[in-house]
Structure 1
Amino acid sequence: MRKVVSRDGTTIAYEVAGDGPPIVLLNGAFRDHTIFDQLVPELTAHCTTYVYDRRGRGQSGDSPEYAVEREVEDLAAVIEEAGGEAVVFAGSLGANLALEAAMTGVPITKLALHEPYYRVEGFAKPPSDFMAKLNALLADGDRDEAAALWLAELMELSPQAIEAWRQGPLWPMNVANAHTLPYDTTIAGDYTVPTERLATLRIPCLVLNSDGTSEWFKAAAKATATALPNGWGMALPGSFHRIDMDILGRVLAGFATT
């Protein structure tokens, strides 16, 4: 992987593929750049894709103290490598991070978001002691239970669904990156849509959700699109927190190149 040094000196690892206008792909909790392995081939005929490991994951470095501002600077560093400005596609809490970056002036030309993590009125927020429980598990070195706690209390998955995740191919990545879950919890803030701040963001913003996702993710996507002056929502075929990859690729390619 290529490397770029972020503002605080942390090394961020990234990969480049394709030809055309640049699009940076930004992942959410648990994941590293490999989560886009199926999406990148759908885009490379139309765009130059940049995928990177967020700090603390994969081949990227980290810093002793976490701050959302440092992750904003990481994204800015990758965009600088992409030529100084870029379209950004971001999912889940990566979408929250991308919005924060755009609102603080990172040169994002267009923003596509997949189910940003907010809780709107009518849907309960995660327990107030979630972060404390998460940190306690991580302090004990129990990454497996930390990952399970995240899925139970942040994603509202049943014990049966969590056990299915444990048996799935992505669980080793979940456990390997569990130490970064406090980072994403920090990004989530108070879980509410920052309506007043989003009203200042003028770039085109496409907010996506899958037709098979949870009702609270659908509501969050709708509320986010409504709060953005140049935002609009779109539902695409998929399952919980996931859009069918070939369809997502076509939509993103069209969005990035028009």
Structure 2
Amino acid sequence: MPKVKSADGSAIGYETHGTGPLVIVVAGATQYRAVDTDTPKLADILARRFTVVLYDRRGRGGSGNTEPYAVNREIEDIEALIDALGGSAMLYGMSSGAVLALEAAASLPRKVTRVICYEPPINTAQSKDDAFSDLAEMEAYKARGDGAGAMEAFMLSVGTPPEHVEGFKQSPQWAAYAAVGTTIAHDFRILAEATKTDMKARWRGIAQPVLVVNGDQSFDFMAAAADTAAASLPSATRKTLPGQGHGPAPDSVAPVIIEFFS
């Protein structure tokens, strides 16, 4: 598995599919190559036109992490991938990874050329104080090294029925998810920092074209979240995918990505 060295010395593991303009997929919370089966299928479709990069965000799978964590470290990880693989890239970010992709676009205006955000989870009903309270809870799990506890708390917080969580904890897949549970704090920090100030002011420098997408079968707040993200950006367009939830089917989202990135 190839790796690049980020600015702080952390090794970031990745893989590439196909040839063509560079597209980096920025994963959301709990998502990494050891457990993610849909994103490789998406990469295989996109590989007919693009060089698609799948990477483990820091602290997950094949990627290291140097403490203390900061959102800028994750932007540096994306920059290291871009520098190693071509000098410029388009970003497809999913869930909290969509917000990270926007933060990278703001910080790397000459290296990030276009962005697609799939369901950035900006909950407009949540106060800034609540966002930082949730962050503090996840950082407490991280400080204790309790990835399993963090994963369970996260699943319950997004509405997974308790009996389903208990069943999942008995499954063979649980260990792989619990192994990255402490990194959920990273995603909560990305969201808390991005929404703590006026997002229009924060992202006013993003001149790159951005497409914000949601599925019409997702969590109730996702359509409003996508609208809020798009309204906060200077050059954003909106699209809703019929029949799709928070994890869209590869063959449903691929045509949207191909059209916007071509």
Taking structure 2 as the reference length, the TM-score comes to 0.88
- Seen in structure 2, the aligned counterparts of structure 1 residues 29 and 86 have a Cα distance that, compared at 3 Å, is same
Superposition map of 1:37-186 within 5 A = 37-106=40-109, 107-120=111-124, 122=125, 126=130, 129-153=133-157, 155-163=158-166, 165-166=168-169, 171-186=174-189
Tell me the secondary structure at the aligned position of residue 151 of structure 1.
helix
Residues 47 and 256 in structure 1, CA contact (< 8 A), matched pair in contact too:
no
1:9 aligns with 2:14: no
Q: What does the per-residue CA deviation read over 1:35-57, in whole Å, with 9 as the maximum and x for residues that have no partner?
A: 32221111111111111111111
Mapped to 1, the partners of 2:19 and 2:73 lie a distance apart of: 29
Mapped to 1, the partners of 2:7 and 2:29 lie a distance apart of: 22
Unpaired segments of 5 or more residues in structure 1?
A: none
Residues 99 and 190 in structure 2, CA contact (< 8 A), matched pair in contact too:
yes
- Matching residue of 1:215: 220
- Matching residue of 1:189: 192
CA displacement at 1:234 relative to structure 2? 0.8
Q: Of residues 193, 201, 205 in structure 1, which corresponds to 2:206? A: 201
Residues 208 and 235 in structure 1, CA contact (< 8 A), matched pair in contact too:
yes
Mapped to 2, the partners of 1:201 and 1:38 lie a distance apart of: 30
Mapped to 2, the partners of 1:58 and 1:187 lie a distance apart of: 20
Residues 138 and 188 in structure 2, CA contact (< 8 A), matched pair in contact too:
no
Mapped to 1, the partners of 2:200 and 2:164 lie a distance apart of: 33
Tell me the secondary structure at the aligned position of residue 206 of structure 1.
strand
CA displacement at 1:133 relative to structure 2? 3.2
Residues 23 and 48 in structure 1, CA contact (< 8 A), matched pair in contact too:
yes
The letter of the residue matching 1:26 is V
Mapped to 2, the partners of 1:250 and 1:243 lie a distance apart of: 12
Residues 209 and 236 in structure 2, CA contact (< 8 A), matched pair in contact too:
yes
Mapped to 2, the partners of 1:61 and 1:213 lie a distance apart of: 32
Mapped to 2, the partners of 1:237 and 1:171 lie a distance apart of: 31
Name the stretch that deviates more: 98-107 or 86-95.
98-107
- Seen in structure 2, the aligned counterparts of structure 1 residues 169 and 199 have a Cα distance that, compared at 3 Å, is farther
The letter of the residue matching 1:63 is T
Mapped to 2, the partners of 1:49 and 1:224 lie a distance apart of: 25
The letter of the residue matching 1:143 is G
Tell me the secondary structure at the aligned position of residue 189 of structure 1.
helix
CA displacement at 1:158 relative to structure 2? 3.4
- Matching residue of 1:237: 242
Unpaired segments of 5 or more residues in structure 2?
A: none
Residues 119 and 191 in structure 1, CA contact (< 8 A), matched pair in contact too:
no
The letter of the residue matching 1:22 is L
Residues 238 and 244 in structure 1, CA contact (< 8 A), matched pair in contact too:
no
Tell me the secondary structure at the aligned position of residue 150 of structure 1.
helix
* RMSD between aligned residues: 2.3
Mapped to 2, the partners of 1:39 and 1:242 lie a distance apart of: 12
Give percent identity, aligned residues only.
34
The letter of the residue matching 1:112 is I
- Seen in structure 2, the aligned counterparts of structure 1 residues 41 and 159 have a Cα distance that, compared at 3 Å, is same
Mapped to 2, the partners of 1:215 and 1:224 lie a distance apart of: 16
Residues 135 and 192 in structure 2, CA contact (< 8 A), matched pair in contact too:
no
- Matching residue of 2:254: 249
- Seen in structure 2, the aligned counterparts of structure 1 residues 236 and 168 have a Cα distance that, compared at 3 Å, is farther
CA displacement at 1:2 relative to structure 2? 1.0
Residues 24 and 87 in structure 1, CA contact (< 8 A), matched pair in contact too:
yes
Residues 31 and 173 in structure 1, CA contact (< 8 A), matched pair in contact too:
no
